[in-house]
Amino acid sequence: MGRVAVGARGLDVSAGRHRLSGVERGRVSFVGAGPGAADLITLRGARRIAEADVVVWAASLVMAECVTEHARPGAELVDSSRIAHEDVLALYARAADEGLRIARVHSGDPSLWGAVQEQYDAAAALGLEVEIVPGVSAFGAAAAAAGRELTIPEVAQSVVLTRLEGGRTPMPPREKLREFARHGTTMAIFLSAARTGQMVDELRAGGYPDDTPVVVAYRTTWPDEVTLRCRLDEVEAVCKERRFWRQTLFLVGPALGAAGTRSHLYHPGHFHTFRKPEPAARRALRAARAAGSGAP
């Protein structure tokens, strides 16, 4: 495996394949590694890591196998948790000068709380080819671990992805947790485990009753993952008892406790481009809709 380069100011950027300037355009690929498990990275993401001269990844958030199982021999591996943003930009500048391919590996999906946009813009300004390879987000992995669908007909048809205000990154004034909670639909709450008491208060203020189902997902898909179900009024005690201060996601909403309903999409009376309805089933389905029994 390649040399691991670390250190905020002692970054070793001498490894990797050198190309004469102008011979080949460099590339930065922002790769979503998924929520943790090495086998949840996409095929495209694995290919980009295998092609890379330099792989930049956060060892504190991405399982090592996501990188080591795919990186080519001789590739330079850089732990981004030990360097500053300016050091990463220096790597991008080097990629532009030498025509290097860089895989910048992010946990989950890069489009959510990944600080990707400023890096993407900087890499594009350097004339590099830039792409984003999506990954599996932690909220989808948490729902899968809990065996729950987040959208249940007639219960919840929307999912709000957000975080508690008051952290290191300011929230826009209109994006308060209690305001999102007023919708009463499913919520996936990131980056809030250190302040569960405040989170619960905000959700209550937005209208969620104390018996609202909650999934507490700690390090989902990692070897030490924990997935718990509880009520809203139990969340704070659960997190304190388990010491879930970070790397914990909360799924909240009535859909998490609702039974599945019959989807009319696969009803024999439903039709679409590829399937004709059964006449009797079609009449029964239309009668049910007219009676207000409801179905999508």
Query: HEC states along the chain?
Result: CCCEECCCCCCCCCCCCCCCCCCCCCEEEEEECECCCHHHCCHHHHHHHHHCCEEEECCCCCCHHHHHCCCCCCCEEEEHHHCCHHHHHHHHHHHHHHCCEEEEEECECCCCCCCHHHHHHHHHHCCCEEEEECCCCHHHHHHHHHCCCCCECCCECCEEEEECCCCCCCCCCCCCHHHHHCCCCEEEEECCHHHHHHHHHHHHHCCCCCCCEEEEEECCCCCCCEEEEEEHHHHHHHHHHHCCCCCEEEEECHHHHCCCCCCHHHCCCCCECCECCCHHHHHHHHHHHHCCCCCC
CB atoms within 10 A of CB 202: 22
- φ and ψ at 24, to 5 degrees? -145, 140
Q: For residue range 126-139, what is the model confidence (pLDDT) as tens digits?
A: 999 999 999 999 99
Instruction: Please state the rounded mean pLDDT for residues 83-103.
Output: 95
Tell me how far apart the terminal alpha carbons of the chain are, to the nearest angstrom.
52
**Rounded distance between C-alpha atoms, residue 233 and residue 213, angstroms:** 10
**Rounded distance between C-alpha atoms, residue 18 and residue 74, angstroms:** 12
Residue 235: per-residue pLDDT: 97
| pLDDT over 80 (residue 267) | no
Q: Which amino acid is at 56?
A: V
Average pLDDT, the chain: 87
Question: Which pairing describes strands 76-79 and 54-57: parallel, antiparallel, or unpaired?
Answer: parallel
| pLDDT over 80 (residue 294) | no
8 A C-beta contact, residue 132 and residue 58: no
Instruction: Please state the rounded mean pLDDT for residues 85-107.
Output: 96
Residue 114: per-residue pLDDT: 83
8 A C-beta contact, residue 232 and residue 257: no
Q: For residue range 212-241, what is the model confidence (pLDDT) as tens digits?
A: 999 999 999 999 999 999 999 999 999 999
* Structure tokens that stand for 23 in this block: 């011979």
pTM over 0.85: no
Residue 183: per-residue pLDDT: 96
Domains of the chain: 4-136 (3.40.1010.10), 139-257 (3.30.950.10)
**Rounded distance between C-alpha atoms, residue 13 and residue 102, angstroms:** 12
Largest CA distance in the chain: 74
